[in-house]
Chains A and B, each alone.
Chain A
Amino acid sequence: MSGIIIEPIEKYGLTISADSRSKPLFSKIGVVGAGKEGRNIINMAATAGMDVVFLDESNERISFVLGELEKVMDQKITGWGLTQSEKKVIMNRIKPTLEYEDFKGCDLVIECTRYTESGRRSTPLRKNIFKRLEDILDTDAIIATNGSTIIISELAADLEHKERCVSLYFPVSHPDARILEIVSGMYTSEEVYQKMEVFARLINYKPHRINESNGNVSLRMVATMLNEACQILLERITSLEDIEETFTIIYGQRYGIFRLADIIGIERLVTLMEAMFNDFGQKHYKPNPLLWKLYRSNQLGVRTGKGFYIYDENGNTVSPNKSLYN
């Protein structure tokens, strides 16, 4: 007996043919920039069964990113949340690249270029990325950015198909915060918005429709609350611990507001609040001096090991950062 006969299946369809086969939405997506948030998106999309291509700047960076992705999955395995074989399947769907050409065929590419150490993102650089993506992608592919500041209309402005651009914000406060803020810009078409709702559901997020506004909804609410909490601390009305407990016990939040600020990242909040202050002119958006103090001393929260709290290498709190307000 000979071995196994292998043949293509297509000719055995009754109604399916190569032409009639419709491409499933979001079978392949791309991510530009695999920082922490980019990696999170890569992981979620691949887990949901999508092929994911990600681009980063060097081979060293790519091996770092792949290592980090594996680390997150290994943690899940130790926590009995994933099996070795599932990890293998998921990792198999993830393809790194240094070339924009490899985004060809993607239905969606999300730009997640990282914050610089100072917390700013370069608009010209992001515009350039959008342009390069437009050159490669099909005309109906969606180009998205991951962020919470007003930017999408600006990033879309120079493109030929502006209606395909959309902004997304994946809340980072905790793993169960599975609401995707989908921001329609000036040009975003309803069709593109609707497709993004489908994407959100595919990765197990609940979509929220947001009209372009600095801070969207989630961060805008946190910003004012955080400013008020900093002011209470500055006025020495009560201790940091008690303000945190007010949040966790009275209002039933998972984390206190300062812990939350450290998780979101001080640099992100300060830049955002500055932008909001410029936009709306309201004083309560102006970053509190305590936030500036942290920002200027590069104590940016969990990521740098110090913020309102001091953290160990695993990101667990060691103690409040007393040097801040003593």
Chain B
Amino acid sequence: MKILVLNCGSSSIKYKLFEMESKETVAQGGIEKIGMKGSFLRLILPDGQKVMLEGEILEHRAGIEYILGVLLSEKYGCIRSLDEIGAVGHRVVHGGERFNSSVLITEEVIKMLNDCIELAPLHNPPNLKGIYAIQELMPHTPQVGVFDTAFHQTMPDYAYMYGIPYVLYEKYGIRRYGFHGTSHRYVSKRACEFLGVPYKEQRIITAHIGNGGSVTAIKNGKSIDTSMGMTPVEGLIMGTRSGDLDPGVITYIMEKEHMGTKGITTLLNKFSGVLGISGISSDMREIQESILQGDKRAILAMSTYNYRIKKYVGAYAAALGGVDILVFTGGVGENQAITRSDVCKDMEFMGIELDEEVNKAVRAKEMVISKPSSKVKVLIIPTDEELTIARDTVEILQG
């Protein structure tokens, strides 16, 4: 059976078509700049050839129609009829408290998703547009929603509550939800498969670090805490997001800089983090280059970034009552040896012994990077959110 996975952003759609029996990716690509000038669909053919299809793509529906058109086409396609696609799996950013696992999309689910828009005004509407488009273009194909927040719904209440009046939780659902759930779930499970240990009996910390990032504590297969909160600004220092911040600082900045809610939101989401501290870039590769040239603020940005991850690892070791496995994933987590090295430095007291040589040599590959003597197994597991979505979709279809 073939499963189409769609990840609809505000002006982009990423897609992958999987052949589930062989777990092969048979087609993949993405659309960018929906509703803007210069929109295009780019795809990578199985032989690695890159193709760009340019033209006006005004809305998500048109984008999805073109994706299906390309999949059906003789030149670049791989299916003869849309019936070959057994189901469509959608990444949905925010499932609020209503969704603690992936679901088959029904009219009722769509209604509930609409109710979640307030929690993720930027992300959920495009996710819904993707669902509507498939409903229209492939009315008989089942659709499944896989939520970024669902995996973290197992967090106990004392981990997800903020220390603010309870009435605000009741009124607006203000609490910690967490994100990147699909990735944390995949890499933690995969790490156990890779090590050949039972998933339901491990204390795991997963660090998904890229341009955005979060750390999750997983006990016996369940997320018990994660560093992102109600929105993705909480927690780690990210490419352009501040991460944890004294709330007093926010009101102080607003007063001093005569800033409204919109201004402060942009400041904390787009001008902070690594970019804000370094003044150079949000891209860690550029930060590393500047560090080589001795740039002090680049060094500071890197140290602050790494230190925050280390603090979370420490905190979650306490929450878990010890750690068996530490997983690094995401663009930075898979590729940046220095961050992994900094995080694991001087952690022998809690059983983390990184093999520096192995760590330095490896990039984006499943690999144990701790010494054989290390009590905690440290691993790199490249994340594969799309494959997880496809698998969930199959699981739900098969009941």
> A14 CA to B263 CA in the complex, in Å?
42
Query: Cβ of A79 and Cβ of B53 under 8 Å apart?
Result: no
Q: A5-B49, A12-B53, A14-B137 are in contact. Are A79 and B66 (CB under 8 A)?
A: no
CB distance from A226 to the nearest CB of B (A): 26
> Which secondary structure dominates where chain A touches chain B?
loop
Contact code string B244-267 (vs A, CB < 8 Å = 1, else 0): 000000000000010100110011
Residues of B contacting A89 in the complex (Cβ-Cβ under 8 angstroms): 36
B41 within 8 A of A: yes
B54 within 8 A of A: yes
Interface stretch (choices B56-64, B116-124, B171-179, B296-304): B56-64
Query: Cβ of A9 and Cβ of B51 under 8 Å apart?
Result: no
> A98 CA to B54 CA in the complex, in Å?
30
Q: A12-B66, A12-B70, A14-B69 are in contact. Are A5 and B259 (CB under 8 A)?
A: no
Query: Cβ of B55 and Cβ of A79 under 8 Å apart?
Result: no
> A81 CA to B259 CA in the complex, in Å?
9
A80 within 8 A of B: yes
A6 within 8 A of B: yes
CB distance from B253 to the nearest CB of A (A): 9
B270 within 8 A of A: yes
Query: Cβ of B37 and Cβ of A93 under 8 Å apart?
Result: yes
> A21 CA to B70 CA in the complex, in Å?
18
Query: Cβ of B69 and Cβ of A12 under 8 Å apart?
Result: yes
Contacting A at CB under 8 A, from B135-164, are: 137
B110 within 8 A of A: no
B68 within 8 A of A: yes
Residue of chain A at shortest CB distance from B72: A14
Contacting B at CB under 8 A, from A49-108, are: 49, 51, 79-83, 89, 92-93
Query: Cβ of B54 and Cβ of A7 under 8 Å apart?
Result: yes
B312 within 8 A of A: no
> Which secondary structure dominates where chain B touches chain A?
mixed
A1 within 8 A of B: yes
Residues of B contacting A21 in the complex (Cβ-Cβ under 8 angstroms): 56, 58
> A220 CA to B51 CA in the complex, in Å?
59
Residues of B contacting A12 in the complex (Cβ-Cβ under 8 angstroms): 41, 53, 66, 69-70, 73
Query: Cβ of B270 and Cβ of A83 under 8 Å apart?
Result: yes
B35 within 8 A of A: yes
Contacting B at CB under 8 A, from A111-137, are: none
Query: Cβ of A9 and Cβ of B40 under 8 Å apart?
Result: yes
Contact code string A1-41 (vs B, CB < 8 Å = 1, else 0): 11111111110111110000100100000000000000000
Name the one of A3, A5, A9 contacting B66, with C-beta atoms under 8 angstroms.
A9
Q: A12-B66, A12-B73, A49-B36 are in contact. Are A80 and B52 (CB under 8 A)?
A: no
B165 within 8 A of A: no
B80 within 8 A of A: no
Query: Cβ of B49 and Cβ of A2 under 8 Å apart?
Result: yes
B196 within 8 A of A: no
Query: Cβ of B58 and Cβ of A7 under 8 Å apart?
Result: no
A interface, how many residues as a size bin?
20 to 34
Query: Cβ of B271 and Cβ of A8 under 8 Å apart?
Result: no
CB distance from B245 to the nearest CB of A (A): 14
Contacting A at CB under 8 A, from B236-295, are: 257, 259, 262-263, 266-267, 270-271
CB distance from B76 to the nearest CB of A (A): 8
Name the one of B55, B72, B257, B270 contacting A10, with C-beta atoms under 8 angstroms.
B55
Residues of A contacting B50 in the complex (Cβ-Cβ under 8 angstroms): 3-5
> A12 CA to B43 CA in the complex, in Å?
13
Query: Cβ of A51 and Cβ of B41 under 8 Å apart?
Result: no
Query: Cβ of B65 and Cβ of A4 under 8 Å apart?
Result: no
> A16 CA to B40 CA in the complex, in Å?
15
> A79 CA to B266 CA in the complex, in Å?
10
Query: Cβ of B53 and Cβ of A14 under 8 Å apart?
Result: no
Residues of A contacting B37 in the complex (Cβ-Cβ under 8 angstroms): 51, 92-93
Query: Cβ of B52 and Cβ of A4 under 8 Å apart?
Result: yes
Residues of A contacting B41 in the complex (Cβ-Cβ under 8 angstroms): 9, 12
CB distance from B29 to the nearest CB of A (A): 12
Given contacts A13-B66, A16-B62, 20 further A-B contacts (CB under 8 A): A4-B42, A4-B50, A6-B53, A6-B54, A7-B51, A7-B53, A7-B54, A8-B55, A9-B55, A13-B62, A13-B65, A21-B56, A49-B36, A79-B259, A80-B263, A80-B266, A80-B271, A83-B266, A83-B271, A92-B37
B-contacting residues of A (Cβ < 8 Å)?
1-10, 12-16, 21, 24, 49, 51, 79-83, 89, 92-93
A-contacting residues of B (Cβ < 8 Å)?
35-37, 40-42, 48-58, 62, 65-66, 68-70, 72-73, 137, 257, 259, 262-263, 266-267, 270-271
List 25 interface pairs A-B (beta carbons < 8 Å), by A numbering. A1-B48, A1-B49, A2-B49, A4-B42, A4-B50, A5-B50, A6-B51, A7-B52, A8-B53, A8-B54, A12-B69, A12-B70, A13-B65, A14-B65, A15-B65, A24-B58, A49-B35, A79-B259, A80-B257, A80-B266, A81-B263, A82-B266, A83-B270, A83-B271, A93-B37
